[in-house]
């Protein structure tokens, strides 16, 4: 446990010193704006898992999924020994068959690990 676990309240109390008349809701919105800006930089690394499904090529990474992915850098697949093995990225991103899955978001369910 760190010396200080910051909550929105601590940020709010600091902001009040500089701008005395701001509301909590206004500061809450500014904190979320700051978090979105911080997400543009490589500060936070997370992992998530999902089921591998038959005949499904596409897995959704939209912002309305349970996870918010900015840049994906590693994929691993479960092998027969129960280990997750890193797989390579296909640089040209092209295969011969076309898979039209119009609703990838409803077919994908991520859980943060």
Partner 1 sequence: MAAVSSTYKDPSDTFVWWIEGDRLAIATTEGDGGTNETDKGQLKAVSLGSGNTITDGLIISYYAEPDKLTSITGTIDIDNVLQPALIDYVKSKALMDAAARAKDPGLAQIKMASAQQCMANYKEAVRRYGMKKNDKVGGTRAIAPVDMR
Asked if 66 touches partner 1 (CB under 8 A), the answer is no
The binder of partner 1 chosen from 18, 100, 103, 106 (CB under 8 A) = 18
Task: Name the helix (H) or strand (E) containing 27.
Answer: helix 24-38
Bridge partners of residue 84, in order along the sequence: 78
Asked if 107 touches partner 1 (CB under 8 A), the answer is no
Asked if 109 touches partner 1 (CB under 8 A), the answer is no
List binders of partner 1 among 84-103 (CB under 8 A).
Answer: 84-91, 93, 95-97, 99
How far apart are alpha carbons 57 and 106 in whole angstroms? 14
- DSSP state for residue 85 in the 8-state scheme: E
């Amino acid at each position: 446990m760190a010396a200080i676990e910051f909550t929105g309240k601590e940020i709010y109390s600091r902001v009040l010193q500089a701008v005395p008349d701001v509301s909590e809701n206004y500061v809450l919105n500014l904190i979320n704006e700051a978090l979105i800006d911080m997400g543009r930089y490589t500060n936070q690394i997370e992992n998530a898992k999902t089921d591998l499904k038959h005949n499904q090529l596409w897995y959704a990474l939209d912002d309305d999924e349970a996870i918010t992915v900015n840049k994906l850098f590693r994929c691993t697949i479960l092998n027969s020994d129960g280990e997750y093995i890193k797989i390579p990225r296909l640089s040209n991103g092209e295969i011969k068959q076309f898979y039209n899955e119009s609703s990838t978001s409803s077919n994908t369910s991520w859980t943060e690990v």
